[in-house]
Chain A
Amino acid sequence: MRGLAQNAQRIQDAEPGSSLIWRLSLAAAMTTGLLWWSLLSIPNAAAAPATLADYDCVTYGHCYAIVTWPGTVTGTETTMTVVALYCDQYHCNTQMNYHYHLSDEMWLVDTTHQAPNCLFGVCWIEVGQAAFPMTPNSNSDVYFWAENRPGMVYLEHPGNVTYYDFGYTTNLSITPSGSGAWSISASSHTYGNGLVGSTTSANNSMQPDTIRIGMELYDYCGYCSDPAYAPSSDFTYNQWSNNSPFFYQGADYPNKGQDYLQYPPPKGYWNVIPAPGTNGGDLVTYCGCD
Chain B
Amino acid sequence: MRKSISGSLVLVLTVAALVLVLAASGKATPGKRTAAAALRASTPTATLAPPTPLPLTPPPSRVGVPAITPHLKGIPSFTIADVQHYLNTGPGTPFPGGMTTAGTRPVATVIEFITSQQASVLMKGGQTGLSDTALVCYVGLQGPFSTGVISGGPGSKPGIANTGLMVFDASTGNLLVWGFMG
Contact = CB atoms under 8 A, between A and B. Distances in A.
Interface string A187-220: 0001111001111101110000000100010100
A132 B178 CA distance: 13
Contact of B153 (A58, A64, A95, A190): A64
A131 B92 contact: no
B14 A11 contact: no
A196 B154 contact: no
Contacts, number: 300
A48 interface: yes
A197 B63 contact: yes
Interface string A2-24: 00100110110010001001101
Contact of B96 (A46, A94, A204): A94
Contact of B123 (A66, A109, A153, A260): A153
B117 interface: no
A231 B46 contact: yes
A135 interface: yes
B150 A146 contact: yes
A227 B165 CA distance: 30
Given A139-B34, A164-B58, A32 B96 contact: no
B156 A25 contact: no
Contact of A157 (B54, B91, B95, B129): B129
B51 to A, nearest CB: 4
A253 interface: no
A31 B152 CA distance: 55
A136 B94 contact: yes
B110 interface: no
B155 A61 contact: yes
B64 A46 contact: no
Contacts of A267: 46
A58 B157 CA distance: 10
Interface stretch (A71-79, A80-88, A237-245): A80-88
A44 interface: yes
Contact of A120 (B10, B47, B152, B177): B152
Interface in B16-55: 16-18, 20-22, 25, 28-32, 34-37, 39-52, 54
Nearest to B127: A198
Contacts of B45: 288
B63 A41 contact: no
Q: Decide if the interface of chain A is mainly helix, strand, loop or mixed.
A: mixed
Interface residues of B, number: 92
B179 A155 contact: yes
Contact of B156 (A100, A120, A141, A212): A120
A269 to B, nearest CB: 10
B93 interface: yes
Interface string B50-83: 1110100011011111110000000000000000
B9 A153 contact: no
Contacts of A11: 5, 9
A118 B58 CA distance: 38
B22 A40 contact: yes
Given A7-B12, A197-B130, A203-B124, A140 B65 contact: yes
Given A120-B159, A167-B52, A155 B178 contact: yes
B84 to A, nearest CB: 15
Contacts of A124: 152-153
Interface of A: 4, 7-8, 10-11, 14, 18, 21-22, 24-26, 28-30, 32-33, 36-37, 40-41, 43-48, 58, 61-62, 64, 66, 68, 81, 83-86, 89, 93-101, 107, 109, 119-122, 124, 131-136, 139-142, 146-148, 151-158, 160-161, 163-164, 166-168, 190-193, 196-200, 202-204, 212, 216, 218, 225-226, 229, 231-232, 234, 260, 263, 267, 284, 286, 288
Given A47-B32, A197-B130, A198-B127, 10 more contacts: A33-B20, A66-B153, A84-B39, A99-B98, A120-B147, A136-B90, A139-B34, A152-B161, A166-B39, A231-B43
Interface of B: 2, 5-6, 8-18, 20-22, 25, 28-32, 34-37, 39-52, 54, 58-59, 61-67, 89-99, 123-130, 147-159, 161, 175-182
